[in-house]
Structure 1
Amino acid sequence: MFKKLLTGTLLLLLFLAGCSTPSSTKQGHIKMADAGWDSIRLHNAIVGFIGETAYDLTWEEVPGSTPITYEALKMRDIDVYTEVWTDNIPDYQSDVEAGLLLELSINFDDNAQGLYVPTYVIKGDAERGIQASAPDLKTVQDLKGYADVFADDDHPEQGRLYGAIPGWEIDEIMRNKWEYHGLDDSYIYFSPGSDAALAAAFTSAYDKGQPIVGYYWEPTWLMGKYDFTLLEDNPYIDQESYEQGKTTAPALPVTVGARLEFDQDFPEFTEFLRNYSTSSGFTSDGLAYMLETGANYKETAQWLIKENEAMFSAMMPQDKWDLVVSAIE
C-alpha cells in the first residue's frame, strides 16, 4: 500500500511540475538566452546586474544555438532574450503577431556591415605619422582608383579585398558586390577563412598603420577598439537588389524579447526592459573594453553603466537607479 501511495504521489508531483509556471519565475528567478556570441552575453550581464540590484531577482543563462534558444523562448523555457537578431529568424514577425512571444523593445537598430577601411587611410593620423593614402575614398565605387593602395602581397599588380566568412550568407553577397562594381578587374577577392583570421588581418594592418579594405560588421570589439570607416554604397532599395550586391546592407532591428506572461509575472522589471535601448557603438565599446582590460562580463557591465549614467537612469524610476548606483563596485 505504501509503495502504491508513494508511486501515486511521485506521479502527482511530476504532473504538477509539468504544469508549473515556466522557468520557476514565481520565485524571482529568470532565465536568459545565451545564443553563443559575446554581445548577447554582455547585454545579459547588464540586464542581470540591474535585475539583481534593483529588482531583487536572480538569473542564469541558458546556452544553445539561435534556433534552439528561440524555440525555448516560445515554449516558455526561457524568459528573456536580450538580443534577438530578427532578420536571422524567418518566423519572428509572424510569431510576434500571433502572440507566441513578447517584443519588449528594440535594443539597437544601428548595426552595420559592409566594406571598411581604417580611417587613417582617408584622413591620415598625425600622431602616428601616417599620411592619407586615399584622401578621396568615400564609396565602394571609389575603390577602383585605389587598387595600388591595397595591393595584394602575392599579386601586387592587383588590390586585395578581404571578403566575408565562407559559409556565411553575406559572403555570396559580397562576391556579388565585388563583381557588380567591377572590382573583379583590379582586386582579388581574398577569403579570410574564418572570423578570427579576418579580425587578425584587420588588427595587424591597423597596428602597423597599413592600408586594408574588407568586409566587417558592427557591433564587434574590433569596431569598438579601432577607428574604421564604412564605405558608402548605393542606398538600400529591396532585398533582391541587396543580395545582388547592388546596395548597402539594411540595418536590422535587434530586439529584446520575452516569453508570454512575463510581463504579468514581473511588471516592474518588464517596464525596465521596455525602456532598454542601447546602440551598436555602445555594444562595440563594451566588447573592446573587455578585450583591452581583461574584464569579465559583469565587470564590463558595471563599467558601461557608470560610463552611461544618463542613458541607464532614464530606463527606471529614481529609487531603482539609486540601488544600481550603490551596488556598483
Structure 2
Amino acid sequence: MKKVIIFLAATLLVVLAACGSETGSNNDSDKGIDTITLADAGWDSIRVHNSIAQTILEEGYGYDTEVTSGSTAATVQGLRDGDINVYMEIWTDNIKEVYEEATEAGDFETVSVNFNDNVQGLYVPTYVIEGDEERGIEPYAPELRTVEDLKKYPEVFEDPEDPGRGRVINAPSGWAVNEAITEKFEVYGLEETMNNFMPGSDAAAVADLVDSYEAGEPWVGYYWSPTLITAKYDLTLLEEPEYDEATWNETKATEFPPNDVVVAVHKDFPEQAPEVYEFLQNYETSSELTGEALVYMDENGVEPDEAAKWWMTQHEDLWTSWVPEDIAEKVKDALQ
C-alpha cells in the first residue's frame, strides 16, 4: 500500500511541475517582462513622450505600461534601482554628477538623444524690456539685459509678500535645476534685493506667469524649452556669460550648459525587452516637434495622451521609422 501511495504522490508532483512550467511560460510570454514602467518627473513634455512610447509599446509590441511619478531625484533613483524601466527625458546636465555616476556604475544605459536644441534659464516677458505698443504697455526695464542686472530692479519685480524686495520664481524645490538657480542668486548678488521664491509645482509657476502676462505685468523666473509657455508667449531669456565648464562647476555663473535630453533604460532592460530596446535606440525628436504637441494640448484642452496620438498622426513618417514595418502597421491601425 505504501508503494502505491508513494507512486501516486510522485506522479502528482510530476504533473504539478509540468503544469507550473507551462503556466510560467504563458505568463512570461517569452518577453522576460510583462509591464514596462516609465518615469514622470513632473512636466508636460516628458508626459507627451511617455504617451508616444506607451502607444507604441502597447499597440505595437503588446506590453502593458505604467507610469511612476516623482521628483527628478526620486525617479532617477527609481531608474537606477530598476523600479523604473524607461526614462524618456533625462536632462543630463541638470543632474550631471548623478548621471555620470550612474552611467559609470552601469546602473542605467543611455540609448538615444531625444532632443538637444533646448534652452533654459531665467526669462522675462519681452514687453518688460521692449514694451508692447498694441497692448499699450510701456517698457518696465528697458536696460535689463542680464541675470545679474535683476538686482537693480526690485521695484519692477516686487514681491507681493515682501514690499521693497523683488521676487524671482525659481524651479520647484524637487527639481535638480533649483540648486543651480539658488547658486546663481549668491554669485550674482541677487539676494541683496531679490527673494528666491520656490513654487510648489510647475503648474503654480505657470499660473503665476500666465496671470502676470495676461495682465501685462512684470514677471521673472525660471523656464525652459520645449514647453507650451515658450512656444505660446513672447519671452526673453536673460543673458549670462558664455558657458565655461570650469566656472559652471565652481559657481554656476555662466549660461546653462548644452543639455542633451536623452532616453535611458535600466541596465537589465536590454535583455528583458530587446525589441523595445531597439525601438528606443531610434527615438529622436526636437524641441520644435515637442512644442507642437504642447501647443495642441493647450489649444484643444486635451491631456498628453490625446496630444501624443494627434502628434503621431501628424508625424507618421518619423515615428514609423523607429520601428519595424509590422509593428508600425499595428500602431497605425490602433490610431485610426
Q: Residue 205 of structure 1: CA displacement?
A: 0.3
CA distance in 2, matches of 1:230, 1:218: 11
* Local SS of the residue matching 1:26: coil
Opposite residue 84 of structure 1, the aligned amino acid is I
On the 8 A contact 2:32/2:272 being kept in 1, the answer is no
* 1:105 CA displacement: 0.4
How many percent of aligned residue pairs carry the same amino acid? 38
Aligned to 1:161: 168
Question: 1:183/1:89 Cα in 2 relative to 1: closer, same or farther (>3 Å)?
Answer: closer
1:33 to 32, 38, 42: 38
Superposed, 1:1-329 pairs within 5 Å as 26=31, 29=34, 31-37=36-42, 38-53=44-59, 55-63=60-68, 65-67=74-76, 69-73=78-82, 79-86=85-92, 88=95, 90=97, 92-93=99-100, 95-96=102-103, 101-153=108-160, 157-166=164-173, 170-185=177-192, 187-195=193-201, 196-238=203-245, 241-242=248-249, 244-259=251-266, 269-309=276-316, 311-316=318-323, 324-325=331-332, 327-329=334-336
Letter in 2 for 1:80: V
Q: State how far apart, in whole Å, the 2-side matches of 1:172 and 1:149 are.
A: 25
| C-alpha distance 9-140 of structure 1, shift in aligned 2 (>3 A) | farther
The DSSP-based 3-state class of the residue aligned with 1:236 is: coil
Conserved 8 A contact 2:155-2:165: yes
Code of the aligned partner of 2:86:
V
Taking only aligned residues, the RMSD between alpha carbons, in angstroms, comes to: 4.2
Counterpart code for 2:120:
Q
- Structure-2 change in CA distance of 1:230 and 1:16 (3 Å): farther
**Structure 1 portions without partners, runs of 5+:** none
Unaligned runs of 5+ in 2: none
Residue pair 1:118, 1:228 contacting (<8 A) in 2 also:
yes
Q: Name the aligned partner's letter for residue 32 of structure 1.
A: T
Are the aligned partners of 1:122 and 1:134 in contact in 2 as well (CA < 8 Å)?
yes
Residue pair 1:109, 1:279 contacting (<8 A) in 2 also: yes
TM-aligned CA deviation for residue 104 of structure 1: 1.6
Decide whether aligned partners of structure 1 residues 326 and 251 sit closer, same or farther in structure 2, where only a CA change above 3 A counts: same
Relative distance call for 1:275 and 1:166 in structure 2 (3 A) is closer
Tell me which moved more, 319-328 or 203-212.
319-328
Kept in 1, the 8 Å contact 2:51–2:304? The answer is: yes
TM superposition shift of 1:233: 0.7
Higher alpha-carbon Rg: 2
Larger displacement relative to structure 2 (90-99 or 104-113): 90-99
